[in-house]
Structure 1
Amino acid sequence: MENKEAQVKTVSEDNIYRLNGRVPLSKAIPFGLQHVLAMFVANLAPVLIVCSAAVVRGTDSHLTPAEITQLLQCAMFAAGIGTCLQLYPIWKIGSKLPIVMGVSFTFLGSLLMICTNPALGYEGMVGAVILGGIFEGLVGLSAKYWKRFLTPVVSACVVIAIGLSLLSVGMDSWGGGNGVADFGAWYHLAIGTFTLVVCLVSRYCLKGVYKNLNILVGLIVGYLASAILTVTGVAPMVDFSGIQKTIGEVGFFSLPKLVFFTSHTPVFDIGAFFTIAIVFLVSAAETTGATAAVAQGALGRDLKIEELQGSLAVDGFSSSISGCFGCLPLTSFSQNVGLVTMTGVINRFTILMGALILILASLFPPLGAFFNSLPQSVLGGCTVMMFGSIMYEGIKMLKECVFNDRTMIIVSLSFCIGIGLTQTSGNFFAAFPPAVGDIFNGNAVAGVFVVSLLLSLILPKDKTEEVSAKK
């Protein structure tokens, strides 16, 4: 079997399936661009949601459109920097694995609760993000002390939960985007279906390494089809006005600005920190599962402690960097985990090209606005299979566990409770503080992680499992 992690000095397109080694730019750039397009809209959406609702501390006023546009620019910049750290670590911060970082949806509820409180506002939220990121970074660096509690069955349950939680995201995108007035319109469904068919046909018809560009092909062809429907007046699929608006508000070139040099200096509040700290632990669980899925699905081996430590450290400290630019926390992007495991393209240099494209897009705001005009239905048609592949990798990880009564109880209860909480008709945690409901009611990964971890610690192991664990 070929060693995918061997050091390779030659430049070759075959290196695209190896972790190390250089790939010709003619191959590295389009494969890197595929990673950017797979996560671009989802990377910006949380920033739009939170920053549009945020109030300026001590007032009833909101951030201006120009300020929000600049924050979108900073989100791209921070995601690019975080991805570079994952690929090429500094000290112990980084995993050396093909992981792409992006703004996390996990924090949405808690961040909205902080930033809409006039006593804290946007400034209090930014301060909480900076402190929370440092907290998670330190938790990551100490991973060797608590890694033993993350048993294989816990890791498998978390990875499966990540895949399951993303299925609705893919279908929402296919329907046109969550909350849009024309959700489920014929043109969204048609374009999503057309894009998925293009991806599948490309996968089987293209030869060599090009078959793994099927997602990029689907995105390009789907975008062109959407643009034709828009220009001909058949359906409003692509909004080109955002590009012109961005040029008017920010210009063609703009450097990301540190929040300390704006009028919104961060406020460090201990209450806001505790509100968000528990969510950083949930994000750490998601990153642990995503990193394990990359190691298992792309490299065919178990996750090393150094990789987990570095991955979580980047998750935390890059979130603090993002906060310094006034943005939201970052996490390992599950969309790209699915892309890596599905295509087998694991080359760090190739994914670095994607990170550099993100940074470049942040310096030229119109370029970011162009990427952001990608219709949700096109993205949905491309991502549904990617999300399913994450669940598939989790099932493969579960297959390696000892199948006995204990495993059955852990898996059954963790999914029944963790996913069941997200499907209740009301607020299951109405008797608890709102932060509890924000964490568990809308996040299947959090519930599955907590229940599987507790059961794994409490339920006694039988002798067969103890022997297997030692091996």
Structure 2
Amino acid sequence: MKNSIENLYQLDGRVPLGKALPFGLQHVLAMFVSNITPIMILASVVGLDSAVSAALIQNCMVIAGIGTLVQLFPVWRIGSRLPIVMGISFTFLSLAISIAGAYGMGTLIGAVIVGGLVEGVLGLFVKYWIKLIPHVVSATVVTAIGFSLLPIGANSFAGGLGAPDFGSLNNWIVGSVTLLACLLCQVFAKGFLRSLSVLVGLIVGYILACFMGMVDFSGLSGLAVVSMPRLLPFTPEFNIGAILSVVAVYLVSATETIGDTSALCNGALNRDPETKEMGAAISCDGFVSSVSGLFGCTPITSFSQNVGLAAMSGVVNRFTIGIGALVMIIGGVFPVVGHALTTIPQAVLGGCTIMMFGSILYAGFGMMARTGFSQRNMVIVSLSLSVGLGFTQATEMFKIFPEIVRTVFAENCVAVVFLLAVLLNLLLPKKEE
């Protein structure tokens, strides 16, 4: 039994279901709201009716579970065999709204399917282009991902951006208590309980939120017991302009996956990722995103918050995280499960994720240290981060550019950082005087 518990911190090996379930559930809860939010926003802006919206939310949970299982237990060369958790990507949201609003959901879904195939094929041939992304570029991208997540954690802590009670005293109290519970468990708990610090904090915060009247259970009544995912809710249509725009954003998504894979291997597995692992992770991103399109959903990608959770908890067991993926699929088939998870207040999730997101930054700093602090690396890192993080905070700077450039770069610091880091690495002299 002792050895099976120790398997929590190993990629392979079986863990007792009673131990695997809470750790797997911890991963689900860390990403659950972020997984369904892009679909909820898209459905609301485009004006889809509530029945279609509910069906898409179910579908995106099932797709996230399937994508995670493929990453954990590869099919041929698709899937990295790493503890990567997949979910619906925010990266595509603004472009998805633009395409669906102008041409309809069918055109968006057609572009998602074709673009996913392109990214999947790129992943299969990763060895021919991965040299463009050396360690210094990966370290810079990982650091940018960490920085980009900090506002997401802060907005959740305050109640969720746009919420009527954003920044209220109740949100401050719940978020702070949740964070404190996570911190105390991380510092003072022993053994596997320390690895469950995020789940402990979430439970403490959720109970407090219930007593403070911040949890709404009204939507749980009247739900169907079982509801199967619906295939092809929209008929795909193919528009070359929409396809090219989506393919451009898929390249950004591939960049984020490379960064997440690097952060996971360096932060949780204490090694650099192998080329075939990065290619397999990208292939999973692409091909499963095409499947996501068949279910009417936008593309999926690796979730950075779960990379932070793996780095902080040390739990990397594929079987354990696979249990979490099964929970997601069950949540999509049994609506009451999924809806129950949506009752977790944003302030609770924010309190849980603040330190997790910081751990991704820490992984990025560690990668930089291993890369070395040469003058050349200093220029690549400092210029890429300052321009990428700075310019995307002033999005009006991009108004002179075409719409596709604004879509890909204006609000996506990771894309800007990646492009600059690659260009600087290619242009700067390799040998210093």
- Scaled by the length of structure 2, the TM-score of the pair is 0.98
**Cα deviation digits, residues 75-95 of structure 1 (max 9, x gap):** 000000000000000000010
Pick one of 407, 411, 417 that aligns with 1:438: 407
Q: Which runs of 5+ in 2 are unaligned?
A: none
Corresponding residue for residue 97 of structure 1? 82
Residues 20-39 of structure 1 mapped to structure 2, 5 A cutoff: 20-39=12-31
Residues 255-334 of structure 1 mapped to structure 2, 5 A cutoff: 255-259=228-232, 262=233, 264-334=234-304
- Asked whether 1:359 is paired with 2:329, we answer yes
Confirm or deny: 8 A CA contact 1:242 1:373 kept in the other structure: no
Confirm or deny: 8 A CA contact 1:177 1:377 kept in the other structure: yes
Corresponding residue for residue 224 of structure 1? 207
- Asked whether 1:462 is paired with 2:431, we answer yes
Q: Which amino acid aligns with 1:26?
A: G
Corresponding residue for residue 71 of structure 1? 56
Confirm or deny: 8 A CA contact 1:109 1:439 kept in the other structure: no
Pick one of 358, 377, 383 that aligns with 1:407: 377
- Runs in 1 of length 4+ with deviation above 2 angstroms? 204-207, 241-245
Pick one of 97, 120, 143 that aligns with 1:112: 97
Q: Secondary structure at the match of 1:431?
A: coil
Corresponding residue for residue 126 of structure 1? 109
- Scaled by the length of structure 1, the TM-score of the pair is 0.90
- Asked whether 1:350 is paired with 2:342, we answer no
Query: What percentage of aligned pairs have identical amino acids?
Result: 50
Q: Which runs of 5+ in 1 are unaligned?
A: 1-8, 55-61, 231-236, 465-471
Corresponding residue for residue 13 of structure 1? 5
Q: Which amino acid aligns with 2:84?
A: I
C-alpha distance in 2, partners of 1:324/1:429? Answer: 33
Corresponding residue for residue 396 of structure 2? 427
C-alpha distance in 1, partners of 2:15/2:201? Answer: 23
Aligned CA distance change for structure 1 residues 16 and 427 (closer, same or farther; 3 Å)? same
Aligned CA distance change for structure 1 residues 242 and 423 (closer, same or farther; 3 Å)? same
- Asked whether 1:452 is paired with 2:421, we answer yes
C-alpha distance in 2, partners of 1:412/1:86? Answer: 33
Question: Over aligned residue pairs, what C-alpha RMSD do you find?
Answer: 1.4
Q: Which amino acid aligns with 2:384?
A: S
Q: Secondary structure at the match of 2:221?
A: helix
Q: Which amino acid aligns with 1:286?
A: E
Q: Secondary structure at the match of 2:68?
A: helix
Corresponding residue for residue 59 of structure 1? none
Aligned CA distance change for structure 1 residues 116 and 67 (closer, same or farther; 3 Å)? same
C-alpha distance in 1, partners of 2:149/2:190? Answer: 30
Confirm or deny: 8 A CA contact 1:96 1:307 kept in the other structure: yes
C-alpha distance in 2, partners of 1:32/1:310? Answer: 22
Q: Which amino acid aligns with 1:454?
A: L
C-alpha distance in 1, partners of 2:193/2:375? Answer: 45
Q: Which amino acid aligns with 2:419?
A: V
Query: How big is the shift at 1:402?
Result: 3.1
Pick one of 51, 55, 66 that aligns with 1:81: 66
Confirm or deny: 8 A CA contact 1:11 1:21 kept in the other structure: no
Aligned CA distance change for structure 1 residues 270 and 454 (closer, same or farther; 3 Å)? same
